[in-house]
Amino acid sequence: MTTLVASLLFFGAGAVASVIFARRQRWLRLFGAGGVILGSVCGLVPAVRVAMGAPPQSLRMAWDVPYGSLYLRLDALSAFFLVPIFLICALAALYGTEYLEAYRERKSLAPAWFFLNVLAASMAVVVLANNAVLFLMAWETMSLSSFFLVTFENEKKSTRRAGWTYLVASHIGTTFLLVLFVLLGKANGSLDFDRFGPASGAGAFFVLALAGFGTKAGFVPLHVWLPEAHPAAPSHVSAIMSAVMIKTGIYGLLRILTFLGPMQAWWGWTLCAIGLSSGVLGVLLALAQHDLKRLLAYHSVENIGIIALGIGVGIVGVSLGEPFVAVAGFAGAMLHVLNHAMFKALLFLDAGNIAHTTHTREIDRLGGLLARMPATGATFLVGAAAISGLPPLNGFISEFLIYMASFKGAVSSGAFGSVPMLATLSGLALIGGLALACFTKAFGIVFLGQPRSERAEHAREAGLAMLAPGFVLAAGCVLVGLFGASVVRAMAPLISNVTHLQSSLIGFDLAGAANSVERVAQFGALLIAMAALLALARTKVLARRRVSTATTWDCGYASPSPRMQYTASSFAQPLTTSFRMLLQTREVLTGMEETFPRRAEFHSHTDDPYQRYLFQPLFQSINRATAFLRPLQQGGVQLYVLYIVVTLLAVMLWEIA
């Protein structure tokens, strides 16, 4: 525990130093990044130890906050979330040292480093807190620090707008959490997590947790802030937010599940439904995007959906009394938390590399980058294959576990009980296929073919500090893909923590699942070997033959230009038309009136349907309904003080009467 406290102190020191050295660029960079990196590395040690099976640790100190206590506890569940948090934070900080240099001339970098340290510390405290007050304070600090990081480029109007959306959404979410913890505390007589126990009205608590934590995690329809905020932030911050910060929502949900007593089947059904809609809608909206980072942000919605599917299947498994379904479902979901953290951070950092050199995130303006940025391209390819759930990479392993759970559940339950299982497995299959479409599009249009604009033409590879994190993460994707079985085996305490199943059952079923994962990994290794063998054979065969180059087959047309290549929009068009019912893509075609039209334009734009048809009308009507309150807002400080006094008096009178 002392190492963890030391790690938190490093973050604190980093934050303080960022303020002190605000005007000294070099020191600022050294201390700002140093705080995050040292703190993360320091914290990784105990986190990994506990995640791999060491006994939980805790630390309690007196604290002068009503009902609060400075109570930290590192158990298997926290440790499993802490590992990716520290890993990604350290790599993102390293990345930031080079990435932020581009802004050096224009603005002070001190806030970026200050809030990065605060964000890292608050995320760590969120998963470590064992007291509701501490948890909520850390939660709020996390939301605020990330808000300031999102609005780093606040000179842009779109960024301010995104930050505003994010702020509103996260506070609506926090409101639900406040209610949840107050009610839980009232039912149990304490706000310490280890005093929380099964209480009546578990269903209501579950719904509150779903709304509160779901907002942070990005469950459809509470996801609308996510595709706004994540792309607006600097890339290393997008990586942290998408890879680990939204996972604190999953963590919170799982933590609440441990308090609520026996799991009920309808929780699982609900989570499966949410997971399905998040997964399918997330990937479809991603497919329709033109902005690379926005596309990645929608994929976070999709992957959160996959995690929700895993948890949902797991809960149904527990309630059906099917230990294998429960164990494999939860194991798959948890592993996906780790995996998604790795490949999503990798993809966001690579997207940052691209934006850094080309100054655009518009997919249709890029192209041919693989030749210009070979390292970025190679790591992006690994990330793209991993997020599409392809063997032999890590994304496949976690999806495989969720598939196995749902197949097993479909086989061993009755007609009615198998519905969520079948929905999960067919949904996963559809999501997988669509994700493959989306990432062949992203990689193919951005990195392959010929550059579609001047900017892409002159793209240059990023420096070492921006490439190294990508290499580490790509290696991680491959390693978890090949050695996932040992990670799965280490999950026994974690799963027993969440499901309260007998540990012998968990051990047995986990071993079964790990066994299959091991076989999959063997196939992965064989695959690599086989491909290498074929490559060798091919070079041998071609060595004695004539190998020449020519132009691409152009169907006889003599001068094809790069602009005639297939674009991202045209690549995705068959799918977006097939699902136009869900997407509501708006297409504008102008200038085709005359017989010989001179200049024609075509635009397609896909809004978030929930944003457009649910939240915008909702907030507008709230705005209208509360318009009569406007006169209260006069701007004078005196008036506000008066309000406070009146409120206090009213409360006092109410208390007396």
Partner 1 sequence: MLFGSVLPLIVALACAPLMQGVITRTKSVIAGRMGQPLMQPYHDLWKLLHKGAVYSHTTSWIFRTGPMVSLASLLLALALVPFGGFPALSAFSGDFILLAYLMALGRFFIVLAALDTGSSFEGMGASREVTFSALAEPALFLSLAALARQTGRISISPLLTAVSWSVWAHAAPMLGLTLAALIIVFLAENARIPVDDPTTHLELTMIHEVMVLDHGGPDFAMIQYGAALKMWLFATIIVAVAVPWHSGNRWIDTAVGLAGMLILAIATGVIESSMARLRLLRVPQLLLVAIVLASLAVAL
The span of 222-230, 420-428, 466-474, 485-493 binding partner 1 (CB under 8 A) equals 420-428
User: Least distance from C-beta 46 to partner 1, angstroms?
Assistant: 34
Binding residues for partner 1, total number by CB under 8 A: 80
Q: Which is nearer to partner 1, 200 or 548 (CB)?
A: 548
Q: Quote the least distance from Cβ 423 to partner 1, whole Å.
A: 10
**Closer residue to partner 1 (CB): 135 or 447:** 447
Nearer to partner 1 among residue 254 and residue 382 (C-beta): 382
Whose tokens are 């579609």? That residue is 452
Task: Give least dist CB 519 to partner 1, A.
Answer: 4
**For residues 119 and 18, what is the distance between their CA atoms, to the nearest angstrom?**
14
Q: Determine if 559 is a binding residue for partner 1 (CB under 8 A).
A: no
To partner 1, the closest distance from the beta carbon of 292 in angstroms equals: 16
**Which of 2, 504, 552, 595 is the binder for partner 1 (CB under 8 A)?**
552
Residue 410 sits in the site that holds partner 1 (CB under 8 A): yes
DSSP sequence for 376-426:
HHHHHHHHHHHHTT-TTSHHHHHHHHHHHHHHHHHHHS-TTTHHHHHHHHH
**Residue 10: enclosing H or E segment and its boundaries?**
helix 2-20
Containing 589, the helix (H) or strand (E) segment is strand 586-590
Cβ-count burial 618-631 (b if 16+ within 10 Å, e if not)? eeeeeeeeeeeeee
AA letter at 10: F
Among 408, 469, 492, 514, binds partner 1 (CB under 8 A): 408
Indicate the residue among 417 and 463 with the shorter CB distance to partner 1.
Answer: 417
Which of 26, 157, 546, 598 touches partner 1 (CB under 8 A)? 546
Task: Classify burial at 55, counting beta carbons within 10 Å of its beta carbon; exposed 0-12, middle 13-18, buried 19 or more.
Answer: exposed
Per the DSSP assignment, residues forming a β-bridge with 344 are: none
Q: Is 566 in the site for partner 1 (CB under 8 A)?
A: yes
- Distance between CA 468 and CA 346 in Å, rounded? 10
Binding residue (CB under 8 A) for partner 1 from 204, 475, 564, 652:
564
Q: How far is the CB of 43 from partner 1 (least distance, A)?
A: 35
In this chain, which of 289, 565, 585, 606 binds partner 1, going by CB under 8 A? Answer: 565
Return the residue of 504, 551, 623, 633 that touches partner 1, per CB under 8 A: 551
DSSP SS3 for 69:
coil
**What residues from 603 to 642 belong to the interface with partner 1 (CB under 8 A)?**
none
Q: How far is the CB of 381 from partner 1 (least distance, A)?
A: 8
**Pattern 364-403, partner 1, x by CB under 8 A:** ---xx-xx---------x---x--xxxx----x---x--x
Cβ pair 197, 500 in contact under 8 A:
no
Place of tokens 């709020």: 140
Nearest Cα neighbor of 35 from 86, 69, 79, 104 is: 86
DSSP code per residue over 102-139: GGTTTS--HHHHHHHHHHHHHHHHHHHB-BHHHHHHHH
Nearest CB to partner 1, comparing residues 136 and 434: 434
Distance CA 512, CA 493 (A): 16
Establish whether the linkage from the previous residue to 469 is cis, with ω within 30° of 0.
no
Beta carbon of residue 27, minimum distance to partner 1 (angstroms, whole number): 42
Under the criterion CB under 8 A, does residue 553 sit at the interface with partner 1? yes
Instruction: Report the nearest approach of partner 1 to the CB of residue 564 (Å).
Output: 6
Angle at which helix 503-543 crosses helix 492-499, to 10 degrees, equals 130
Alpha-carbon gap, residue 492 to 499, rounded angstroms: 10
Residue 143: other Cβ atoms inside 10 A: 21
**Pair of tokens at residue 467:** 């490439």
**Residue 261 or 560: which CB sits closer to partner 1?**
560
Q: Does 543 bind partner 1 (CB under 8 A)?
A: no
Q: Is 7 exposed, middle or buried (0-12, 13-18, 19+ CB in 10 A)?
A: buried
- In terms of CB distance, is 163 or 470 closer to partner 1? 470
Q: Among residues 120, 404, 492, 498, which is the contact residue for partner 1, using CB under 8 A?
A: 404
Lookup result for tokens 């994700």: 435
Among 204, 475, 530, 622, contact with partner 1 (rule: CB under 8 A): 530
Using CB under 8 A, which of the segments 244-252, 262-270, 337-345, 433-441 binds partner 1? 433-441
CB of 391 to partner 1, least distance (A): 6
Least separation in angstroms between CB 192 and partner 1: 41
Work out which of 19, 22, 422, 511 binds partner 1, going by CB under 8 A: 422
Query: Which CB sits closer to partner 1, 116 or 434?
Result: 434
Q: Minimum distance between the CB of residue 510 and partner 1, rounded to whole angstroms?
A: 13
Segment 448 to 487, residues that bind partner 1, using CB under 8 A: 448-450
Shortest spacing between CB 298 and partner 1, in angstroms? 16
For the CB of residue 363, give the shortest distance to partner 1 in the complex, in Å.
Answer: 12
Options 573, 584, 611, 616; binder of partner 1; rule CB under 8 A: 573
- Contact yes or no for 220/301 (Cβ under 8 A): yes
Binding piece for partner 1, criterion CB under 8 A, among 202-210, 248-256, 298-306, 440-448: 440-448
* Min CB(78)–partner 1 separation in Å: 30
Least separation in angstroms between residue 550's CB and partner 1 is: 5
In the region spanning residues 303 to 362, those forming contacts with partner 1, defined by CB under 8 A, are none
Q: Do the beta carbons of residue 498 and residue 257 sit within 8 Å?
A: yes
Alpha helices (runs of H) in 449-502, residue ranges in sequence order: 454-457, 464-489, 492-499
Residues 398 and 339 sit within 8 Å (Cβ to Cβ): yes
* Contact residue for partner 1 among 59, 562, 587, 611 (CB under 8 A): 562
Q: Is 76 exposed, middle or buried (0-12, 13-18, 19+ CB in 10 A)?
A: buried
For 146: left if phi > 0, alpha if psi spans -120 to 50, otherwise beta; the answer is: alpha
- List the interface residues with partner 1, window 488-527 (CB under 8 A): 512, 515-516, 519-520, 523, 526-527
Q: Is the dihedral of CA 284, 285, 287, 288 positive or negative?
A: positive
**Of 14-22, 491-499, 533-541, 603-611, which segment contacts partner 1 by CB under 8 A?**
533-541
Q: Which is nearer to partner 1, 415 or 625 (CB)?
A: 415
Selected from 61, 62, 550, 657, the binder of partner 1 by CB under 8 A is: 550
Instruction: Determine contact, residues 224/615, Cβ cutoff 8 Å.
Output: yes
